[in-house]
């Protein structure tokens, strides 16, 4: 059974307390927070004070996805804000190995996100240093985009690399996850399913989380 991580980018920002309560009583173990800087991605979402406020209202694992340039400048700030998992983009880090060590030294789980065009081979040398690899299945920056189907093979390739190294790195899928493609993703090796619009756009978000959780 996958870990389900509802993405707050698709929640009603005027009612983040309600979104937290909903996730708290649901089967989701994580919640996913997308931080964007308008540089690494064309969009700006929310930052440290919002993560901090959500942290106080949730009992779940705070999975923070940094879509920002020079994420190493903010590692300590996100730790202080309450991130449990901190994911940086391979494309945004000149010294990815160092960044991962920095995140782990602060007591957080370290994740690497890969844009659709970045091959799994690009992080082969640091795979064992990562607690999680986030495969972007859309181009980062916006919620509600269409899943890029060719990413399914990438998930399989990543899973094979992780198994070959005997590691326990989790595979997270981010972008365009639906009730239709979730089973195939889990069968390909996904451990964590991020879902924004599929959860918060649903008539019954809590029931949708349960469906994702029990998809295979």
Catalytic sites, residue numbers: 34, 174
| DSSP-based three-state secondary structure for 77 | helix
Instruction: Report how far residue 20's alpha carbon sits from residue 2's, in angstroms, rounded to the nearest whole number.
Output: 20
- Bridge partners for 110 per DSSP: 86
Residue indicated by tokens 């899928």:
173
Q: Which residue is nearest to ligand DX5 (CB)?
A: 196
Cβ-proximal residues to 182 (8 Å cutoff; 6+ apart), any chain: 2, 193, 212, 215
Residue 191 interacts with Zn ion (CB under 5 A): yes or no: no
Cβ pair 169, 205 in contact under 8 A:
no
Query: Which part of the chain contacts Zn ion (CB under 5 A), choosing from 70-78, 100-108, 123-131, 167-175?
Result: 167-175
- Shorter beta-carbon distance to ligand DX5: residue 42 or 125: 42
Q: Which is nearer to ligand DX5, 44 or 53 (CB)?
A: 44
Please, which residue, 167 or 202, has the CB nearer to ligand DX5? 202
By the rule CB under 5 A, 34 interacts with Zn ion: yes
Stretch that binds Zn ion, among 30-38, 119-127, 161-169, 185-193 (CB under 5 A): 30-38
């Amino acid at each position: 059974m996958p870990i389900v991580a509802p993405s707050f980018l698709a929640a009603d920002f005027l009612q983040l307390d309600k979104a937290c309560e909903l996730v708290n009583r649901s089967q989701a173990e994580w919640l996913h927070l997308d931080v964007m800087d308008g540089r690494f991605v064309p969009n700006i979402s929310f930052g440290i004070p919002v993560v901090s406020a959500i942290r106080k209202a949730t009992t779940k694992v705070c999975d923070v996805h940094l879509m920002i340039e020079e994420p190493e400048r903010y590692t300590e700030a996100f730790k202080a804000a309450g991130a449990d998992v901190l994911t940086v983009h391979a494309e945004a880090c000149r010294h990815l190995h160092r960044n991962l060590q920095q995140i782990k030294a602060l007591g957080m789980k370290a994740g690497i996100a890969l844009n659709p065009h970045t091959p799994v081979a690009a992080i082969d040398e640091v795979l064992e240093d990562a607690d999680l690899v986030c495969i972007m299945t859309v181009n980062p920056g916006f919620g509600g985009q269409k899943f890029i189907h060719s990413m399914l093979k990438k998930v399989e390739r990543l899973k094979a690399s992780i198994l070959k190294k005997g590691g326990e790195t989790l595979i997270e899928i981010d972008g365009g996850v639906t009730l239709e493609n979730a089973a195939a993703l889990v069968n390909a090796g996904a451990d964590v399913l991020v879902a924004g619009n599929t959860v918060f756009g649903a008539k019954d978000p809590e029931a949708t989380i349960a469906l994702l959780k029990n998809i295979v």
